[in-house]
Every structure is written in C-alpha cells, then in structure tokens.
Structure 1
Amino acid sequence: MRRVAAVFQRLFSLSRENGPVSEPARVLVVEDAETIRIAVLAALADAGYAVAGHPDGSALEEELQQFRPDLVVLDVMLPGRDGFTLLEVVRRRSEAGVVLLTARDAVSDRLRGLHSGADDYVVKPFELEELVARIGAVLRRLRRVPSVVQVADLVIDADSGVVLRGGEQIEVTATELRLLGYLAAQRGRVVSKTQILTGVWGYDDYDPNLVEVHVSALRRKLEVYGPRLLHTVRGLGYVLRADES
C-alpha cells in the first residue's frame, strides 16, 4: 500500500509542477539532408514526441530558448557550423541530451563526439526504429521522460513497477510493464507489431506472435477493473486509449 500511495503522490506532484504527466518530450533535429530530416521527424512524431527540425545550426540558439528541446539530434557534417561545434553550443546553453549522426564510422570521430559531451552516436545509414529507440533510451537516462504516465484511469509508474486501474493495483511482469509504458508513450497512436518488438524487446526479428501473447495477457489483466483500453486495429497494430473513436 505504501508503494501505491507513493505513486499517487508523485502523480499529483508532477501534475502540479509540470502540467499533465503525459506531456511529450521535445526533440530538435538538425540535419541538412532533407529526406533524412523529414523521415526522422516523422518517425519521432509517430512515437509521440514533439518535434522541430532545421537544415543547419543557424537557428539553434533561438530554438534552445523558445522550443526548449529535451534532446537535440545533430548531424556532424553540416554546412556552416558542424555538429561538434553545435554540440558545444548545446552544452553551454542547455541541459538537453544530444545524439550525433554521422556518415563516418571512424573511432576518432565517435570518441571526439562522446568526449565532447554527446549522449549517443549513431552511424548512417541507420534504421529509423533503432534511432527512435536510442533517443528514448537517452531521454530515460536523463529523466526527461516522466516515469509516471496516466491513460484514462490507468496509472503506470515505471520506476516502482506499480500499475493502477481505477485505484486498484494490477500485478504485471517486467515485460508487461515495458509494453504498457511503450504504448502509453505513443499518446493514442497506433503502433505495429514490428514497432513494438523494437521498442520493447530491442529487436524486430522476434516472432510477431510474441507481441500477441503479451498483449492478450495484459488486456485480460486490465479489463478486470474497467472497459477496454488496449485495442487491436486490424491490419495496423495496437493502441492504448480510452475508446476506439
């Protein structure tokens, strides 16, 4: 009971201090290749993040002040100021996390980026789902992603492992907790089995039936205390929301 009370206290504190606990993390993408920039922004938006993008660093200082990103994705080889220079700007003016993108796989480049304060370093070409997963991992390390998330009457506390529905505690496994947290972070967006495999298990080459098994088990537990929240969208995937409208 003490853990449950602590969850409610944290939920109340987060709501008072920061507004809704489900407010998305903000990610700024600085990438000069338009096709890559657009694809990354779309993937991040689909994953539930608030996004902004630029082809170079000319607006970086302004965006750090106005958009106030929780994380900045920087291409190393940019026109004008390169990614390493912009990384120094971010470190001086913000507490945002930084993920560097580069076409160069040289160890010296990676070491330079990490020694300069980058939180992660991704080499092109990359899979969008991997980049999104690594951005999420950095944000969790930096505590920019709230550990307590609420969807309707469902409350998920990733730190304590407590899941509540209508005030009643639901016993879930570690995998079910990760699955719930991932679906809740999508803020009502439909996600495919492949996206879930990558986001929850870290790889997309597992049997998709693995997702079905865990979704079914989780759905049964959730529906003991209320109407359906975890919906199947035929041909597309799954979504966690209060109704199917």
Structure 2
Amino acid sequence: MSNQGIVVINSFVYLIGGDNNTRGFRAESRCWRYDPRHDRWFQIQSMQQQHADHCVCALGGYLYTIGGRDHHNELKVVERYDLQTNTWEFVDPLKQEEEFGFNAETQKLLSKNGETLLGAINFFICSVKTLVDKTIEDTMVNIKQYENARIEYDAYRTDLEELNLGPRDATTVPKIEQSQYAFQAYREKYEKMRNDVSIKLKFLEENKVKVLHNQLVLFQSAIAAYYAGNQKQLEQTLKQFHIKLKTPGADTPSWLEEQ
C-alpha cells in the first residue's frame, strides 16, 4: 500500500484508502483503524469510492476524505466518516473556485487551534517546571537542613550523655548545664525541621497525585481535541482547568484571520 491518507483521532490512527501496489497501483476504498490498546489494525467501513493521493483531515468529530484520484481520474468528491456509526457518506464536492477558499479556512482553523493548543502546552510545561524547580527543590533543601539538624542533635545528645556519666563537681556541673541548654536548643531545631520535612513531603505527594495528574489530563485532552479538529472541546478543556490564555497573536490577528 502507498499514497494513503493518515489521521489521528482520539488516540486511534486511521489509514484511509491509497494505492494497492499488488494490483498495479490501483486506488483503494478500504480503510483501517489502529488500536494502541490491542496493538492491532482493524478494518472499518470502506469509502463509497476509491481514493489515492487524497487529503484526509479530522474536523468536528468527523473524518473527511477530500479529492485525490481513483484508477483513472482526478476527484473532486468529498466523503465524511462518522466514527459513531462506522459509515461513510458523500458531502458537497469541491468546486474548482472553492478549493483555495477551503484550504484557507482549513489553515485558519489549524492556526487558531494550534495557538490555543500551544497555550495549553505552555501552561502544562510551566506547571511541571514549578513542581520540579520550586516544590521539589524546596523540599530537597528542607531535607538537607533536617539532616544537618539531626547530626547536630545527635552530637549534642552524645556530649550530654557522656557528661552525665562522669562525676558531678563544681567544675563539671556548669558544663553539664551548658550542654543541657545546647542539647535542648538543638533538639527543638531538629524536631521543627522534622515536622517541616513531613509537611513538605505530604504537600509534594499531594502535588504529584493531584496537580500533576490534572496537568496530564489537561495535556491529553487538549491534544485529543486538537487532532479531532474540535475547537469547542479544546476551549472547553481550558475552561475546565480555569486557564485564561493569552495566545500568541491575540492582540494582532494574523493575515489569515483578517481575510
């Protein structure tokens, strides 16, 4: 097979039409879908007509096959595949004078959705960067401080134990009292650092489970909506996570948007 149309929708790879090389490069109407969960290709409903060297895109939850050629002629027909019913149907064909307009509209939509997707990706990267560079790094600093406090606490505790095992006289009693005072101060410091580390680790675990999980859901949903050509779903995904994005070019529309 060669000259197929390929598109990704909802994590499934669709292989549409193309040339069957075993039959002398004859255009095909057959279609397949790859399911990564089972690592298998499944044949889906064939198109109404053979297509090769054609354009395939996803838009609004549908899959479109546009133009191309059959065994002999260039095609202007457009077919639409319904993922829910596993059926193909003809829609309005391309007209010669409409081809450039259709391409411009497609590019405009891709540009707009691409900027929105880029904003979502940047938000995802920023959130992960905050988790790694700030939350995790801050926790590591606290752990190091806790380790130092533990070493100091152990040292002063050992000194106090050795003094308590020795004789008590006018010379040693002031040393014992001074050691007791220092031991108490470092014990309080050690216990404070231990509590701080415990809180930071709990907070880090919550971030890992909640924040990072939510960001991965956002990332996956945004990618899926973009490749499905579903602008509303893409925007709804951002609203769901309370993200207000100022996408590139928001102040100044691109030349495509001005047309």
What's the TM-score, normalizing by structure 1? Answer: 0.25
What's the TM-score, normalizing by structure 2? Answer: 0.24
Question: Who wins on radius of gyration, i.e. which is larger?
Answer: 2
